[in-house]
Chain A
Protein backbone atom coordinates (compact mmCIF):
# COMPACT_ATOMS: atom_id res chain seq x y z
CA UNK A 1 0.00 0.00 0.00
CA UNK A 2 1.22 3.48 -0.81
CA UNK A 3 2.32 5.71 1.99
CA UNK A 4 2.05 8.84 -0.07
CA UNK A 5 0.54 11.74 1.75
CA UNK A 6 -3.05 12.52 0.90
CA UNK A 7 -2.75 16.03 2.28
CA UNK A 8 -1.62 17.67 -0.92
CA UNK A 9 -4.26 17.88 -3.66
CA UNK A 10 -3.55 14.85 -5.79
CA UNK A 11 -4.73 14.28 -9.33
CA UNK A 12 -6.65 11.27 -8.09
CA UNK A 13 -7.13 10.47 -4.41
CA UNK A 14 -9.09 7.46 -3.30
CA UNK A 15 -9.74 7.07 0.42
CA UNK A 16 -11.48 3.91 1.51
CA UNK A 17 -13.49 4.03 -1.70
CA UNK A 18 -16.15 1.31 -2.10
CA UNK A 19 -18.34 0.64 -5.12
CA UNK A 20 -21.28 -1.72 -5.02
CA UNK A 21 -23.07 -2.84 -8.15
CA UNK A 22 -26.33 -4.46 -7.17
CA UNK A 23 -25.56 -6.47 -4.07
CA UNK A 24 -21.98 -7.13 -5.08
CA UNK A 25 -19.02 -5.24 -3.66
CA UNK A 26 -16.91 -4.65 -6.75
CA UNK A 27 -14.40 -2.31 -5.17
CA UNK A 28 -13.68 -2.59 -1.49
CA UNK A 29 -11.86 -0.01 0.64
CA UNK A 30 -9.59 1.36 -2.07
CA UNK A 31 -6.96 3.80 -0.84
CA UNK A 32 -4.30 5.27 -3.10
CA UNK A 33 -3.14 8.64 -4.36
CA UNK A 34 -1.82 9.47 -7.79
CA UNK A 35 0.21 12.62 -8.52
CA UNK A 36 0.46 14.51 -11.79
CA UNK A 37 2.98 13.46 -14.43
CA UNK A 38 2.63 9.80 -13.74
CA UNK A 39 2.08 6.76 -15.88
CA UNK A 40 0.26 4.11 -13.89
CA UNK A 41 -0.51 0.55 -14.96
CA UNK A 42 -3.66 -0.96 -13.48
CA UNK A 43 -3.44 -4.74 -13.31
CA UNK A 44 -5.59 -7.51 -11.95
CA UNK A 45 -7.74 -10.41 -13.02
CA UNK A 46 -10.84 -10.06 -15.19
CA UNK A 47 -13.67 -8.99 -12.91
CA UNK A 48 -11.09 -7.52 -10.54
CA UNK A 49 -12.64 -4.07 -10.86
CA UNK A 50 -10.37 -2.25 -13.32
CA UNK A 51 -13.18 -0.93 -15.49
CA UNK A 52 -15.30 -0.20 -12.40
CA UNK A 53 -12.45 1.85 -10.95
CA UNK A 54 -12.33 3.86 -14.18
CA UNK A 55 -16.08 4.32 -14.09
CA UNK A 56 -15.82 5.54 -10.49
CA UNK A 57 -13.13 8.06 -11.45
CA UNK A 58 -15.32 9.18 -14.37
CA UNK A 59 -18.35 9.57 -12.11
CA UNK A 60 -20.30 6.93 -14.03
CA UNK A 61 -20.94 4.75 -10.96
CA UNK A 62 -21.80 5.99 -7.47
CA UNK A 63 -19.33 5.56 -4.62
CA UNK A 64 -20.98 3.75 -1.71
CA UNK A 65 -18.46 4.46 1.04
CA UNK A 66 -15.28 6.45 1.31
CA UNK A 67 -14.32 9.08 -1.21
CA UNK A 68 -12.83 9.50 -4.63
CA UNK A 69 -11.62 12.94 -5.60
CA UNK A 70 -10.25 14.35 -8.82
CA UNK A 71 -8.03 17.34 -7.99
CA UNK A 72 -10.05 17.70 -4.83
CA UNK A 73 -13.41 17.54 -6.63
CA UNK A 74 -16.05 14.86 -6.67
CA UNK A 75 -16.01 12.88 -9.93
CA UNK A 76 -19.37 14.38 -10.93
CA UNK A 77 -17.98 17.89 -10.58
CA UNK A 78 -14.85 16.94 -12.50
CA UNK A 79 -16.62 15.94 -15.73
CA UNK A 80 -14.44 16.86 -18.66
CA UNK A 81 -11.22 16.89 -16.61
CA UNK A 82 -10.90 13.17 -17.09
CA UNK A 83 -10.55 11.69 -20.57
CA UNK A 84 -11.50 8.11 -21.35
CA UNK A 85 -10.24 5.79 -24.06
CA UNK A 86 -12.58 2.78 -23.87
CA UNK A 87 -12.17 -0.53 -25.61
CA UNK A 88 -13.12 -0.54 -29.27
CA UNK A 89 -16.29 -2.55 -28.66
CA UNK A 90 -17.80 0.47 -26.92
CA UNK A 91 -18.14 2.46 -30.14
CA UNK A 92 -20.69 2.39 -32.90
CA UNK A 93 -18.34 1.97 -35.85
CA UNK A 94 -21.23 2.02 -38.31
CA UNK A 95 -20.87 5.78 -38.23
CA UNK A 96 -18.12 6.23 -40.76
CA UNK A 97 -16.28 8.90 -38.84
CA UNK A 98 -12.94 10.42 -39.76
CA UNK A 99 -10.11 11.10 -37.33
CA UNK A 100 -11.02 14.77 -37.48
CA UNK A 101 -14.64 14.11 -36.53
CA UNK A 102 -13.66 11.90 -33.60
CA UNK A 103 -11.22 14.45 -32.21
CA UNK A 104 -13.78 17.20 -32.74
CA UNK A 105 -16.14 15.32 -30.44
CA UNK A 106 -13.80 16.21 -27.59
CA UNK A 107 -14.62 19.91 -28.03
CA UNK A 108 -18.30 19.47 -28.85
CA UNK A 109 -19.44 20.70 -25.47
CA UNK A 110 -17.93 24.14 -25.93
CA UNK A 111 -18.18 24.60 -29.66
CA UNK A 112 -20.75 26.50 -31.68
CA UNK A 113 -24.08 25.19 -32.92
CA UNK A 114 -22.81 24.97 -36.46
CA UNK A 115 -21.73 21.86 -38.31
CA UNK A 116 -18.68 23.69 -39.62
CA UNK A 117 -15.30 23.77 -37.90
CA UNK A 118 -14.07 27.14 -36.67
CA UNK A 119 -10.45 28.11 -37.20
CA UNK A 120 -9.76 27.80 -33.48
CA UNK A 121 -11.34 24.34 -33.34
CA UNK A 122 -9.37 23.26 -36.39
CA UNK A 123 -6.16 24.31 -34.61
CA UNK A 124 -7.09 22.34 -31.49
CA UNK A 125 -7.89 19.28 -33.61
CA UNK A 126 -4.66 19.48 -35.60
CA UNK A 127 -2.61 20.13 -32.49
CA UNK A 128 -4.14 17.11 -30.72
CA UNK A 129 -3.58 14.81 -33.69
CA UNK A 130 0.00 16.05 -34.03
CA UNK A 131 0.65 15.07 -30.40
CA UNK A 132 -0.32 11.47 -31.19
CA UNK A 133 1.63 11.56 -34.50
CA UNK A 134 -1.45 11.11 -36.69
CA UNK A 135 -1.86 14.54 -38.25
CA UNK A 136 -1.31 13.22 -41.81
CA UNK A 137 -4.31 10.93 -41.37
CA UNK A 138 -6.73 13.63 -40.22
CA UNK A 139 -9.27 12.92 -42.96
CA UNK A 140 -9.02 9.12 -42.90
CA UNK A 141 -11.81 6.95 -41.58
CA UNK A 142 -11.07 5.66 -38.11
CA UNK A 143 -12.58 2.20 -38.53
CA UNK A 144 -10.09 1.58 -41.34
CA UNK A 145 -7.12 2.32 -39.11
CA UNK A 146 -5.13 -0.25 -37.15
CA UNK A 147 -5.98 -0.91 -33.51
CA UNK A 148 -3.04 1.13 -32.24
CA UNK A 149 -3.83 4.11 -34.47
CA UNK A 150 -7.45 4.00 -33.37
CA UNK A 151 -6.34 4.21 -29.74
CA UNK A 152 -4.18 7.22 -30.61
CA UNK A 153 -7.07 8.99 -32.34
CA UNK A 154 -9.20 8.44 -29.22
CA UNK A 155 -6.31 9.68 -27.10
CA UNK A 156 -6.18 12.81 -29.27
CA UNK A 157 -9.86 13.31 -28.51
CA UNK A 158 -9.18 13.41 -24.78
CA UNK A 159 -6.39 15.93 -25.43
CA UNK A 160 -8.77 18.14 -27.43
CA UNK A 161 -11.19 17.85 -24.54
CA UNK A 162 -8.46 19.35 -22.33
CA UNK A 163 -8.40 16.38 -19.98
CA UNK A 164 -5.50 16.25 -17.54
CA UNK A 165 -6.19 12.72 -16.42
CA UNK A 166 -6.35 10.05 -19.10
CA UNK A 167 -7.82 6.60 -18.54
CA UNK A 168 -7.06 3.90 -21.10
CA UNK A 169 -8.89 0.59 -20.92
CA UNK A 170 -6.69 -2.24 -22.18
CA UNK A 171 -5.36 -0.20 -25.04
CA UNK A 172 -2.69 -2.79 -25.75
CA UNK A 173 -5.02 -5.72 -26.28
CA UNK A 174 -5.05 -6.88 -29.87
CA UNK A 175 -2.33 -4.37 -30.76
CA UNK A 176 1.04 -5.53 -32.11
CA UNK A 177 4.27 -4.75 -30.25
CA UNK A 178 5.40 -2.04 -32.68
CA UNK A 179 2.11 -0.19 -32.32
CA UNK A 180 2.19 -0.65 -28.55
CA UNK A 181 5.60 1.03 -28.46
CA UNK A 182 4.34 3.92 -30.58
CA UNK A 183 1.40 4.42 -28.27
CA UNK A 184 3.74 4.24 -25.29
CA UNK A 185 6.01 6.91 -26.81
CA UNK A 186 2.98 9.16 -27.13
CA UNK A 187 1.96 8.44 -23.53
CA UNK A 188 5.45 9.20 -22.22
CA UNK A 189 5.45 12.54 -24.01
CA UNK A 190 2.04 13.35 -22.55
CA UNK A 191 3.25 12.35 -19.12
CA UNK A 192 6.18 14.71 -19.50
CA UNK A 193 3.67 17.43 -20.38
CA UNK A 194 2.14 16.87 -16.94
CA UNK A 195 -0.69 14.47 -17.74
CA UNK A 196 -1.68 11.72 -15.37
CA UNK A 197 -2.26 8.48 -17.23
CA UNK A 198 -3.83 5.26 -16.00
CA UNK A 199 -3.93 2.23 -18.24
CA UNK A 200 -5.60 -1.07 -17.50
CA UNK A 201 -3.39 -3.84 -18.83
CA UNK A 202 -2.89 -7.58 -18.61
CA UNK A 203 0.72 -7.49 -19.68
CA UNK A 204 2.74 -8.06 -16.51
CA UNK A 205 5.91 -8.91 -18.42
CA UNK A 206 6.60 -5.39 -19.55
CA UNK A 207 4.99 -3.48 -16.71
CA UNK A 208 8.29 -2.65 -14.99
CA UNK A 209 9.78 -0.98 -18.03
CA UNK A 210 6.61 0.69 -19.23
CA UNK A 211 5.00 2.19 -16.13
CA UNK A 212 6.19 4.31 -13.22
CA UNK A 213 3.67 2.84 -10.85
CA UNK A 214 1.39 -0.13 -10.76
CA UNK A 215 -1.98 -0.42 -9.07
CA UNK A 216 -2.84 -4.05 -8.34
CA UNK A 217 -6.57 -4.53 -8.19
CA UNK A 218 -8.54 -7.58 -7.18
CA UNK A 219 -11.70 -6.06 -5.69
CA UNK A 220 -9.37 -4.39 -3.21
CA UNK A 221 -6.04 -2.70 -3.70
CA UNK A 222 -3.43 -5.44 -3.33
CA UNK A 223 -0.50 -3.12 -3.88
CA UNK A 224 0.37 0.28 -5.26
CA UNK A 225 3.79 1.66 -6.10
CA UNK A 226 6.91 1.06 -8.17
CA UNK A 227 6.25 -2.16 -10.11
CA UNK A 228 9.78 -3.40 -9.49
CA UNK A 229 9.17 -3.25 -5.76
CA UNK A 230 5.53 -4.09 -5.23
CA UNK A 231 4.98 -7.02 -7.57
CA UNK A 232 6.11 -9.64 -5.07
CA UNK A 233 5.02 -13.29 -5.20
CA UNK A 234 2.65 -12.60 -2.29
CA UNK A 235 0.98 -9.76 -4.16
CA UNK A 236 0.67 -11.92 -7.28
CA UNK A 237 -0.99 -14.65 -5.24
CA UNK A 238 -3.37 -12.11 -3.80
CA UNK A 239 -4.08 -10.81 -7.28
CA UNK A 240 -4.48 -13.97 -9.26
CA UNK A 241 -5.13 -16.60 -6.60
CA UNK A 242 -4.27 -20.13 -7.60
CA UNK A 243 -3.14 -18.99 -11.02
CA UNK A 244 -0.28 -17.11 -9.43
CA UNK A 245 2.01 -20.11 -9.89
CA UNK A 246 2.25 -18.97 -13.48
CA UNK A 247 4.07 -15.90 -12.25
CA UNK A 248 5.84 -17.28 -9.20
CA UNK A 249 9.29 -17.71 -10.66
CA UNK A 250 8.84 -14.79 -12.89
CA UNK A 251 11.07 -11.81 -12.33
CA UNK A 252 10.34 -8.64 -14.16
CA UNK A 253 12.02 -8.29 -17.48
CA UNK A 254 13.22 -11.88 -17.52
CA UNK A 255 11.39 -14.97 -18.60
CA UNK A 256 12.26 -18.19 -16.86
CA UNK A 257 9.36 -20.00 -18.38
CA UNK A 258 9.13 -20.80 -22.01
CA UNK A 259 5.47 -20.38 -22.88
CA UNK A 260 6.02 -21.72 -26.34
CA UNK A 261 6.30 -18.47 -28.20
Chain B
Protein backbone atom coordinates (compact mmCIF):
# COMPACT_ATOMS: atom_id res chain seq x y z
CA UNK B 1 0.00 0.00 0.00
CA UNK B 2 1.38 3.32 -0.87
CA UNK B 3 1.05 6.64 -2.47
CA UNK B 4 1.26 5.07 -5.91
CA UNK B 5 -2.42 4.22 -5.57
CA UNK B 6 -3.11 7.93 -5.81
CA UNK B 7 -0.98 8.80 -8.84
CA UNK B 8 -0.67 5.46 -10.60
CA UNK B 9 -4.04 5.75 -12.43
CA UNK B 10 -2.90 8.95 -14.09
CA UNK B 11 -0.17 7.21 -16.04
CA UNK B 12 -3.03 6.39 -18.42
CA UNK B 13 -4.19 9.06 -20.86
CA UNK B 14 -7.85 8.22 -20.37
CA UNK B 15 -7.52 8.84 -16.64
CA UNK B 16 -5.95 12.25 -17.18
CA UNK B 17 -8.83 13.14 -19.50
CA UNK B 18 -11.31 11.87 -16.92
CA UNK B 19 -9.63 13.88 -14.19
CA UNK B 20 -9.94 17.12 -16.16
CA UNK B 21 -13.61 16.46 -16.84
CA UNK B 22 -14.23 15.48 -13.21
CA UNK B 23 -12.68 18.68 -11.88
CA UNK B 24 -14.66 20.79 -14.38
CA UNK B 25 -17.92 19.14 -13.37
CA UNK B 26 -17.00 19.38 -9.69
CA UNK B 27 -16.44 23.13 -9.99
CA UNK B 28 -19.31 24.22 -12.22
CA UNK B 29 -22.25 22.27 -10.86
CA UNK B 30 -21.96 23.36 -7.20
CA UNK B 31 -21.52 27.05 -8.17
CA UNK B 32 -24.94 26.97 -9.81
CA UNK B 33 -26.15 24.49 -7.20
CA UNK B 34 -25.76 27.14 -4.51
CA UNK B 35 -28.52 29.11 -6.25
CA UNK B 36 -30.50 25.97 -6.99
CA UNK B 37 -30.75 24.88 -3.34
CA UNK B 38 -31.76 28.35 -2.16
CA UNK B 39 -34.32 28.85 -4.92
CA UNK B 40 -35.82 25.35 -4.72
CA UNK B 41 -34.88 24.66 -8.34
CA UNK B 42 -33.71 21.08 -7.76
CA UNK B 43 -36.68 19.62 -9.57
CA UNK B 44 -35.97 21.86 -12.54
CA UNK B 45 -32.35 20.72 -12.66
CA UNK B 46 -33.55 17.15 -12.70
CA UNK B 47 -36.05 18.02 -15.43
CA UNK B 48 -33.41 19.62 -17.68
CA UNK B 49 -31.24 16.51 -17.42
CA UNK B 50 -34.08 14.11 -18.24
CA UNK B 51 -35.56 16.25 -20.98
CA UNK B 52 -32.28 16.29 -22.89
CA UNK B 53 -32.52 12.55 -23.66
CA UNK B 54 -34.26 12.82 -27.06
CA UNK B 55 -31.66 15.37 -28.17
CA UNK B 56 -28.85 13.03 -27.13
CA UNK B 57 -30.43 10.20 -29.11
CA UNK B 58 -30.98 12.35 -32.20
CA UNK B 59 -27.40 13.58 -31.91
CA UNK B 60 -26.11 10.02 -32.02
CA UNK B 61 -28.42 9.27 -34.92
CA UNK B 62 -27.01 12.02 -37.10
CA UNK B 63 -23.55 11.19 -35.91
CA UNK B 64 -22.55 14.33 -34.03
CA UNK B 65 -21.14 14.43 -30.56
CA UNK B 66 -23.66 13.76 -27.83
CA UNK B 67 -22.74 17.02 -26.14
CA UNK B 68 -23.07 19.15 -29.29
CA UNK B 69 -26.54 17.80 -29.97
CA UNK B 70 -27.72 18.38 -26.45
CA UNK B 71 -26.63 22.02 -26.12
CA UNK B 72 -29.27 23.66 -28.29
CA UNK B 73 -31.87 21.32 -26.84
CA UNK B 74 -30.88 22.21 -23.30
CA UNK B 75 -31.13 25.91 -24.03
CA UNK B 76 -34.58 25.46 -25.56
CA UNK B 77 -35.75 23.37 -22.64
CA UNK B 78 -34.43 25.90 -20.12
CA UNK B 79 -36.18 28.79 -21.85
CA UNK B 80 -39.37 26.77 -22.20
CA UNK B 81 -39.30 25.98 -18.50
CA UNK B 82 -38.60 29.63 -17.69
CA UNK B 83 -41.58 30.63 -19.79
CA UNK B 84 -43.81 28.07 -18.09
CA UNK B 85 -42.84 29.31 -14.65
CA UNK B 86 -44.07 32.76 -15.60
CA UNK B 87 -47.23 31.66 -17.39
CA UNK B 88 -48.34 28.35 -15.95
CA UNK B 89 -51.86 28.14 -14.63
CA UNK B 90 -51.59 24.51 -13.52
CA UNK B 91 -48.64 25.05 -11.20
CA UNK B 92 -45.04 25.10 -12.30
CA UNK B 93 -44.10 21.73 -10.77
CA UNK B 94 -46.92 20.09 -12.66
CA UNK B 95 -46.12 21.76 -15.97
CA UNK B 96 -42.39 21.07 -15.70
CA UNK B 97 -43.17 17.49 -14.67
CA UNK B 98 -45.35 16.88 -17.71
CA UNK B 99 -42.75 18.27 -20.12
CA UNK B 100 -39.76 16.47 -18.69
CA UNK B 101 -41.39 13.07 -18.32
CA UNK B 102 -42.78 13.28 -21.88
CA UNK B 103 -39.39 14.17 -23.36
CA UNK B 104 -37.66 11.47 -21.32
CA UNK B 105 -40.22 8.95 -22.56
CA UNK B 106 -39.81 10.18 -26.13
CA UNK B 107 -36.06 9.60 -25.81
CA UNK B 108 -36.59 5.95 -24.94
CA UNK B 109 -39.11 5.49 -27.75
CA UNK B 110 -36.56 6.92 -30.20
CA UNK B 111 -33.96 4.53 -28.81
CA UNK B 112 -36.19 1.55 -29.48
CA UNK B 113 -37.14 2.78 -32.96
CA UNK B 114 -33.56 3.41 -34.07
CA UNK B 115 -31.97 0.18 -32.96
CA UNK B 116 -28.84 0.94 -34.98
CA UNK B 117 -27.76 3.49 -32.40
CA UNK B 118 -24.94 2.05 -30.37
CA UNK B 119 -25.59 3.52 -27.01
CA UNK B 120 -25.28 2.08 -23.57
CA UNK B 121 -28.40 3.15 -21.75
CA UNK B 122 -26.70 2.45 -18.47
CA UNK B 123 -23.85 4.82 -19.29
CA UNK B 124 -26.31 7.48 -20.32
CA UNK B 125 -28.31 7.20 -17.12
CA UNK B 126 -25.47 6.64 -14.66
CA UNK B 127 -22.48 8.27 -16.32
CA UNK B 128 -19.28 6.83 -17.70
CA UNK B 129 -16.49 9.28 -17.16
CA UNK B 130 -13.69 6.85 -18.02
CA UNK B 131 -14.74 6.88 -21.66
CA UNK B 132 -14.37 10.60 -22.36
CA UNK B 133 -12.62 11.65 -25.55
CA UNK B 134 -10.22 14.54 -26.06
CA UNK B 135 -13.08 16.40 -27.72
CA UNK B 136 -15.23 15.84 -24.61
CA UNK B 137 -12.42 17.21 -22.46
CA UNK B 138 -12.18 20.35 -24.55
CA UNK B 139 -15.91 20.95 -24.69
CA UNK B 140 -16.28 20.39 -20.93
CA UNK B 141 -13.41 22.77 -20.21
CA UNK B 142 -14.95 25.47 -22.41
CA UNK B 143 -18.30 24.94 -20.72
CA UNK B 144 -16.83 25.15 -17.25
CA UNK B 145 -15.12 28.38 -18.26
CA UNK B 146 -18.40 29.81 -19.58
CA UNK B 147 -20.23 28.83 -16.37
CA UNK B 148 -17.55 30.21 -14.05
CA UNK B 149 -17.10 33.46 -15.99
CA UNK B 150 -20.87 34.05 -16.20
CA UNK B 151 -21.32 33.29 -12.51
CA UNK B 152 -18.54 35.68 -11.55
CA UNK B 153 -19.50 38.57 -13.83
CA UNK B 154 -23.23 38.33 -13.16
CA UNK B 155 -22.86 37.41 -9.50
CA UNK B 156 -24.46 40.63 -8.20
CA UNK B 157 -27.33 40.43 -10.66
CA UNK B 158 -28.02 36.74 -10.03
CA UNK B 159 -27.98 37.32 -6.28
CA UNK B 160 -30.31 40.33 -6.48
CA UNK B 161 -32.96 38.68 -8.67
CA UNK B 162 -32.79 35.51 -6.55
CA UNK B 163 -33.01 37.22 -3.17
CA UNK B 164 -35.58 39.86 -4.05
CA UNK B 165 -37.08 39.75 -7.57
CA UNK B 166 -39.53 42.59 -6.92
CA UNK B 167 -36.82 44.82 -5.51
CA UNK B 168 -34.63 44.03 -8.51
CA UNK B 169 -37.41 44.98 -10.90
CA UNK B 170 -38.06 48.19 -9.00
CA UNK B 171 -34.35 49.02 -9.11
CA UNK B 172 -34.50 48.76 -12.89
CA UNK B 173 -33.05 45.28 -13.45
CA UNK B 174 -34.65 42.92 -15.94
CA UNK B 175 -35.48 39.97 -13.72
CA UNK B 176 -36.68 37.89 -16.68
CA UNK B 177 -33.44 38.43 -18.57
CA UNK B 178 -31.19 37.39 -15.70
CA UNK B 179 -33.41 34.46 -14.74
CA UNK B 180 -33.27 33.23 -18.33
CA UNK B 181 -29.50 33.66 -18.51
CA UNK B 182 -29.23 31.68 -15.29
CA UNK B 183 -31.46 28.90 -16.61
CA UNK B 184 -29.48 28.67 -19.85
CA UNK B 185 -26.17 28.48 -17.99
CA UNK B 186 -27.68 25.88 -15.68
CA UNK B 187 -28.85 23.83 -18.67
CA UNK B 188 -25.40 24.03 -20.27
CA UNK B 189 -23.70 22.89 -17.07
CA UNK B 190 -26.12 20.02 -16.62
CA UNK B 191 -25.86 18.76 -20.18
CA UNK B 192 -22.09 19.17 -20.09
CA UNK B 193 -21.97 16.97 -17.00
CA UNK B 194 -24.20 14.17 -18.28
CA UNK B 195 -21.35 12.06 -19.55
CA UNK B 196 -19.66 12.02 -16.14
CA UNK B 197 -22.61 11.85 -13.80
CA UNK B 198 -25.43 10.55 -15.96
CA UNK B 199 -28.96 11.82 -16.41
CA UNK B 200 -30.30 10.42 -13.17
CA UNK B 201 -27.52 11.47 -10.83
CA UNK B 202 -26.54 14.88 -12.15
CA UNK B 203 -28.86 16.27 -9.50
CA UNK B 204 -26.61 14.84 -6.81
CA UNK B 205 -23.54 16.80 -7.91
CA UNK B 206 -25.70 19.86 -8.44
CA UNK B 207 -27.13 20.06 -4.95
CA UNK B 208 -25.26 17.85 -2.45
CA UNK B 209 -21.87 19.66 -2.36
CA UNK B 210 -23.65 23.02 -2.28
CA UNK B 211 -25.89 21.85 0.56
CA UNK B 212 -22.91 20.52 2.53
CA UNK B 213 -21.17 23.88 2.13
CA UNK B 214 -24.26 25.73 3.29
CA UNK B 215 -24.19 23.74 6.53
CA UNK B 216 -20.91 25.29 7.57
CA UNK B 217 -20.55 28.58 5.71
CA UNK B 218 -22.14 31.74 7.00
CA UNK B 219 -22.53 33.75 3.81
CA UNK B 220 -23.69 32.96 0.31
CA UNK B 221 -20.48 33.65 -1.66
CA UNK B 222 -18.38 31.64 0.79
CA UNK B 223 -20.72 28.67 0.55
CA UNK B 224 -20.48 28.90 -3.23
CA UNK B 225 -16.69 28.61 -3.13
CA UNK B 226 -16.62 25.85 -0.50
CA UNK B 227 -19.36 24.03 -2.43
CA UNK B 228 -17.06 23.92 -5.44
CA UNK B 229 -14.23 22.54 -3.32
CA UNK B 230 -16.55 19.80 -2.05
CA UNK B 231 -17.70 19.21 -5.63
CA UNK B 232 -14.13 18.68 -6.84
CA UNK B 233 -13.39 16.33 -3.92
CA UNK B 234 -16.56 14.36 -4.67
CA UNK B 235 -15.88 14.08 -8.39
CA UNK B 236 -12.25 13.05 -7.95
CA UNK B 237 -13.30 10.60 -5.20
CA UNK B 238 -15.88 9.18 -7.58
CA UNK B 239 -13.26 8.88 -10.29
CA UNK B 240 -11.04 6.73 -8.07
CA UNK B 241 -13.97 4.51 -7.11
CA UNK B 242 -14.78 4.09 -10.79
CA UNK B 243 -11.19 3.21 -11.62
CA UNK B 244 -10.42 0.78 -8.82
CA UNK B 245 -13.81 -0.82 -8.23
CA UNK B 246 -15.27 -0.49 -11.72
CA UNK B 247 -18.37 1.33 -10.45
CA UNK B 248 -20.28 3.60 -12.81
CA UNK B 249 -18.98 7.12 -12.28
CA UNK B 250 -22.34 8.80 -11.53
CA UNK B 251 -23.18 6.69 -8.48
CA UNK B 252 -19.55 6.84 -7.28
CA UNK B 253 -19.54 10.63 -7.37
CA UNK B 254 -23.02 10.85 -5.87
CA UNK B 255 -22.13 8.65 -2.91
CA UNK B 256 -18.84 10.48 -2.34
CA UNK B 257 -20.80 13.75 -2.30
CA UNK B 258 -23.29 12.28 0.15
CA UNK B 259 -20.42 11.06 2.36
CA UNK B 260 -19.00 14.58 2.41
CA UNK B 261 -22.40 15.90 3.38
CA UNK B 262 -22.75 13.40 6.23
CA UNK B 263 -19.23 14.07 7.53
CA UNK B 264 -19.80 17.83 7.45
CA UNK B 265 -23.11 17.40 9.22
CA UNK B 266 -21.59 15.24 11.96
CA UNK B 267 -18.64 17.58 12.46
CA UNK B 268 -20.99 20.55 12.67
CA UNK B 269 -23.17 18.79 15.25
CA UNK B 270 -20.10 17.76 17.25
CA UNK B 271 -18.81 21.31 17.29
CA UNK B 272 -22.14 22.77 18.35
CA UNK B 273 -22.39 20.18 21.15
CA UNK B 274 -18.87 20.98 22.27
CA UNK B 275 -19.80 24.63 22.51
Contacts and interface: CB of A to CB of B under 8 A. Distances in A.
Interface of A: 58, 60, 79-80, 82-84, 86, 90-92, 94-98, 101-102, 104-106, 108-109, 111, 113-115, 141, 157, 161
A113 B153 contact: yes
B218 A141 contact: yes
A113 B154 contact: yes
A18 B171 CA distance: 24
Contacts of B160: 105, 108
22 contacts: A58-B170, A86-B164, A91-B164, A94-B38, A94-B39, A95-B162, A95-B220, A101-B159, A101-B219, A102-B163, A105-B156, A105-B164, A106-B171, A108-B160, A108-B171, A109-B171, A109-B172, A109-B173, A111-B156, A114-B152, A115-B153, A115-B156
Contact of A60 (B152, B154, B166): B166
B83 interface: no
B78 to A, nearest CB: 20
B258 interface: no
A108 B170 contact: no
A100 B156 CA distance: 12
A17 B238 CA distance: 62
A1 B171 CA distance: 31
B172 A86 contact: no
B163 A115 contact: no
Given A60-B169, A96-B220, A90 B164 contact: yes
Contacts of A79: 170-172
Contacts of A98: 219
B39 A92 contact: yes
A83 B164 CA distance: 13
B164 A141 contact: no
A82 B168 CA distance: 12
Contact of B172 (A60, A80, A113): A80
Query: Top 7 closest A-B pairs, CB basis?
Result: A94-B38, A113-B153, A115-B155, A79-B172, A80-B172, A105-B160, A108-B156
A97 B221 CA distance: 9
B6 to A, nearest CB: 34
Given A96-B218, A141-B218, A105 B166 contact: no
Contacts of A82: 170
Contact of A92 (B157, B164, B170, B221): B164
B167 interface: yes
B223 A86 contact: no
Interface residues of B, number: 29
A60 B163 contact: no
B167 A84 contact: yes
Nearest to B219: A96
**Residue among B159, B166, B170 with most chain A CB within 10 A:** B170
Contacts of A106: 171
B166 A84 contact: yes
Interface in B134-191: 152-157, 159-160, 162-164, 166-173
Contacts of A86: 164, 166-167
Contacts of B171: 79-80, 105-106, 108-109, 161
Contacts of B214: 96
A227 B98 CA distance: 55
A208 to B, nearest CB: 30
A52 B104 CA distance: 42
B15 to A, nearest CB: 34
A96 B164 contact: no
Contacts of B167: 84, 86, 90, 105, 157
A62 to B, nearest CB: 14
A91 B166 CA distance: 9
A91 B161 CA distance: 10
Given A91-B164, A95-B162, A104 B170 contact: no
A105 B155 contact: no
A90 B167 CA distance: 9
A97 B163 contact: yes
Given A108-B171, A109-B172, 11 more contacts: A58-B170, A60-B166, A60-B169, A79-B171, A80-B172, A83-B170, A86-B166, A97-B163, A101-B219, A105-B159, A105-B167
